[in-house]
Structure formats: structure tokens, C-alpha cells
Amino acid sequence: MANTQLFATRRPQPAPIANAINEAGGRAYLREPEAALALYASTGCLNGVFYADAQTQLAQVLDLCKQVSAEFVAKTAIHARKQGHMKDMPALLAAHLAHRDGELLARVFDRVIDNGRMLRNFVQILRSGVVGRKSLGTRCKRLVQQWLARASTETIMAAAIGNQPSLADIVKMVHPKPQDAEREALYAWLIDKPHAKKALPPLVRAFEAYKRKPEGSPPDLPFLYLTALGLNTTQWKKIALRASWQATRMNLNTFMRHGVFDDKTTTMKIAKKLTDKNEIRRARVFPYQLFAAWKAAHGLPVAIMSALEEAMEHATANVPALPGNVVVAVDVSGSMASPVTGHRQGSTTSLRCVDVAALIAASVKRKNPSARILPFDTQVRTATMSEHAGVMTQAQRLAALCGGGTTVSAPLAQLNAERARVDTLIVVSDNESWAETNVGMGTRTMHEWKTLRQRCPDAKLVAIDLQPYATSQTAASDDVLHVGGFSDTVFELLAAAATGQGPAWWVERIRSISL
């Protein structure tokens, strides 16, 4: 008889000890500082979320910045801006560097502060005093002056839209030295000072002339400069055809109200713009922004609605085809009804975390038709996923299930009860599980994962987090990858997990950025 102690049936490895309590009151795992900062930078919009207000997030981010190297802060700022397409968080990290390491800020400034909105964010955050200083200082003034000197007239005009601070305020702060008469006139025009009108750039002169007599074709400016001038339908059509991809996406209902879509030719040209792959890539579009436009559409032409759906296919083109048995667990609990970019009075998105989670699941399902979708709150819910419906329709059906408590372990427990074979398990959640979170000294989710891994030793778990919290229901390891954010970069990270990248791949990707 064989030695039963030597050849005993292996039991699942115990779950690691849970070392934190999450914001919902459940047992959880505290993220390492670099991983936590990466998550905050990829999901935090410095607005109130379900379990934390904006001030708490700000304090946590600044504390995390102190716990990691200045180099990692700089690289995280670049990653959050270039891959995550974030705005407020990269500006905050740049402002932290201004206080901590000015030379390092100078090396990354242009890669993070890459448009007028980012410049205004950076100056606003720095002057607020939250990072330890209230003045720009010599180095930051020089960086802003250099940004202004390099900016084209078109960039300056686009940057001049917005306040707190306005671009005019910034010009007054830094006193840029004009390189020629034209730029001298432009700066003076911005701050409403006397200037040589004939020296103004042609675009500004055209705008001033059009304000006096708004007839004919409007000048090629962001249409917010023109909307107060009583434009007719023909002029609105010209504006719509010239609008950037993002401006088009954001103003479809506005264009419809002004009769733009009454003309079939104009409608088809706008539809073609919306489906242009290069324009979509250049616009740094979030897939959820397309979903928002599609949901907000009221009476738009069929061609425009179809264009939005086709644009979604392009925006999610890098969803990977995953090998083997794929399962996507979608958190549809009550906390997922929180706006995905947080709540701020007057500027809260209508898109919720559950909408984004459902969109990710539907995108994976579209590329992996055999994937199994398990929506859950405190238990697994039933969802019917059509093989022929589009990504947006599928996502809307899933999101309609939202409500209830949170048990992240529920889909894993069901898979174990079924003894299902799993190669890749994707969990999309805010990770704020509180119902039945602990088993022994670990979380129930990790206990169920260890059990599943005993049956499927090559399985991988990808935990996609949509909110900026410092804890998780799973501990990162060789078989557990943490991903954060809601840009299409999530799909790239998902593909990396499927090809066997290491447990810290997300952090390693940031570390690998060259300064």
C-alpha cells in the first residue's frame, strides 16, 4: 500500500491573510503603494465616489506619492495621461513633482501637460496649495512660458475656452515674452489689453470680423466661440462638419436641434467621421464615452446611431481573443450605480460603474463568443446574452440588473459548485465586497480562487477595478493580475494576462516608461 501521507490528495493552498478592512466594512487585502497609486491614477477623477469623497481621495493620493519614488510618480503621471487618458490625476502628480523634484518635472512636463486643459488643471492645482506650495515659482513659470511659446494659434484659441483659471489668467501670471509682433498682439488680445489689431493672427482677425458681422462661413474655431452669434442652419452644418471627433460625439443632440441632420449628405459625412479609425484613435476616446453618446441619443438618424455602434467596435478592437474557457463576472451591486468618474455638482457623468463593467463584459463576449457572463450582487444573477446583439445592446441589458449587496466571491463559488473548467476568469467590480468576505484569515474570494486553482491549475484571474480604493478582494500573485481603469488600455492588459505576463505587469509597465 502506498504511503498515504506522502501521496495524500492535495488540498488547496490556504488564502493569504487579509490585512485590511475595506470602505464597505469587509475583509480585504491592502495594495502595495505603487499598485495603489497606479489604480488611483487610472480610475481617480478627484470626485466623490460611493465610499469616499473627493477630499479623502486627494489625501490618499498625496500620501501614496510620498511612499513611492519621485521617478515612479513621474512615470505614473505619463501612464495615466497617455494610456489612461486621464486629466485631473496626471496634473495632480505633475504638481506634486513641482514641489518635490523640479528637474524631474521639467523632463516629463510636455508629455503630461499636453494641451490647454491640462495646463489649466496643472496651474489650478499648484496654486491651490494642496501639494505644499501656492505659487508657480521660477521653474514652473518657465515651463508654462515655454508651453505658450511652442503652442500654435489654434492651440492657444482652444486653450482659451474655460475658467478657474482661464488662459488669460495664466498669461497674466507668467508674463510670457512674445517672440514676434503677432504673438505680442495675441497675448494682449487674450487679456483684453490694447493691441495692434493688424498684427493679430489671421484666425483671430477673422473671428473679430465675424463677431461684428456673422454672415457666411464661420471661421475655423471651436464652435463654443460661435454659438452665441445666432447662427443659421447652414452655418451650423459647416461647424458640425469641421468639429473635432470628440466635439462631434459630445454635440450630436445639439446638431440635431439646429437642423444639421435634416440634410442627408451632411448626415452621412458626420457618420463617416464618427467611424474613422484614425480619428477615434487620435481622439483618445473612452469606450464608455461612446456608450454615453449612444444612450443619450434622442431621435438621431439611423445612420448616426449605426455609426456610434461601428465606432464602438473600433474603440474596442484590441479586446483579445482569449484561449480556453473564459468567464466574465460582472458586479451589478448597488454601489456600482455610482458615476464612473465620481460625483461633482454640475459635472457628473450619467455613466455608472455598472455601465462600464457591462460594456467590458459585452466587449469580451463579442470577441470571445463562447465566454460565459456571470452578473452578480450577493448571488449570481441570470442574464441572457444574444450572439447577434451589438456591444451596446448587450451592455445595456447587463447594466439593467444593477442593485443589491456585494459578494465578489459569489461567481467563484458557483463555478466551484459546478466544478466548471476555467482558463481565464475576469472579475469587473469596484471590489467593495462586504457580504461574506472572510474565510479563516483570508477573504472568501481568495479561498474560492484557491479552490478553483486546485481544479484548474493553469487558470488566471484578472481583477479589473473601476474605482479608486486602496484594497482588493484578491491578493496579487502569479495567477492573479490587477488592472485598473476604464480606457481601452484595460484590454491590452487583459491580453497580457492571457499571454502569461507576471503578477506586477501593470506596475512593471509603468516602471518601464523611459524618462
Query: How many whole angstroms separate alpha carbon 434 and alpha carbon 236?
Result: 52
Read off the pLDDT of each residue in 187-207 and give the average, rounded to a whole number. Answer: 94
Contact 266, 241 (CB under 8 A): yes
Q: Which CATH superfamily is domain 320-510 in?
A: von Willebrand factor, type A domain (3.40.50.410)
Phi-psi label, residue 175: left if phi above 0, alpha if psi -120 to 50, beta otherwise = left
* pLDDT at residue 499, rounded to an integer: 66
pLDDT at 346 over 60: no
Q: Please give the residue that has the higher pLDDT: either 106 or 341.
A: 106
Strands 20-21 and 27-30: antiparallel
Burial of residue 212 (number of CB atoms within 10 Å: 0-12, 13-18, 19+): exposed
Residues 6 or more apart from 226 whose CB is under 8 A from it?
210, 214, 218, 219, 235, 239
Residues 6 or more apart from 345 whose CB is under 8 A from it?
none
Cell of 43: 480610475
* pLDDT at residue 452, rounded to an integer: 96
**Is the bond into 176 cis (omega within 30 degrees of 0)?**
no
Over the stretch 434-492, which tens digit does the pLDDT of each residue have?
A: 766 676 678 999 999 999 999 999 999 999 888 888 888 898 888 888 888 777 778 87
Contact 482, 32 (CB under 8 A): no
Q: Please give the residue that has the higher pLDDT: either 489 or 381.
A: 381
pLDDT at 426 over 60: yes
Report DSSP letters for 98-158, one per residue.
HHH-HHHHHHHHHHHS-SHHHHHHHHHHHHTTTTS-SS-HHHHHHHHHHHHHHS-HHHHHH
With a pLDDT cut of 90, the percent of the chain lying above it is 49
Of 291, 219, 298, the residue nearest 255 (C-alpha)? 298
Query: How many whole angstroms separate alpha carbon 315 and alpha carbon 292?
Result: 14
Domain boundaries, the chain: 69-207, 230-315, 320-510
pLDDT at 393 over 90: no
Residues 6 or more apart from 56 whose CB is under 8 A from it?
none
Sheet holding 424-429, edge to edge: 372-376, 326-331, 424-429, 460-465, 480-484
Burial of residue 94 (number of CB atoms within 10 Å: 0-12, 13-18, 19+): buried
Read off the pLDDT of each residue in 381-389 and give the average, rounded to a whole number. Answer: 78
Residue 324 half-sphere exposure toward CB, CA atoms < 13 A = 13
pTM score: 0.88
* pLDDT at residue 5, rounded to an integer: 47
Over the stretch 41-89, which tens digit does the pLDDT of each residue have?
A: 888 777 666 656 778 888 899 999 999 999 999 999 999 999 888 889 9
* pLDDT at residue 234, rounded to an integer: 93
Over the stretch 96-105, which tens digit does the pLDDT of each residue have?
A: 999 999 999 9
pLDDT at 502 over 90: no
Residue whose C-alpha cell is 448626415: 267
* pLDDT at residue 51, rounded to an integer: 58
Burial of residue 91 (number of CB atoms within 10 Å: 0-12, 13-18, 19+): buried
Query: How many whole angstroms separate alpha carbon 442 and alpha carbon 126?
Result: 41
pLDDT at 347 over 60: no
pLDDT at 171 over 50: yes
* pLDDT at residue 256, rounded to an integer: 94
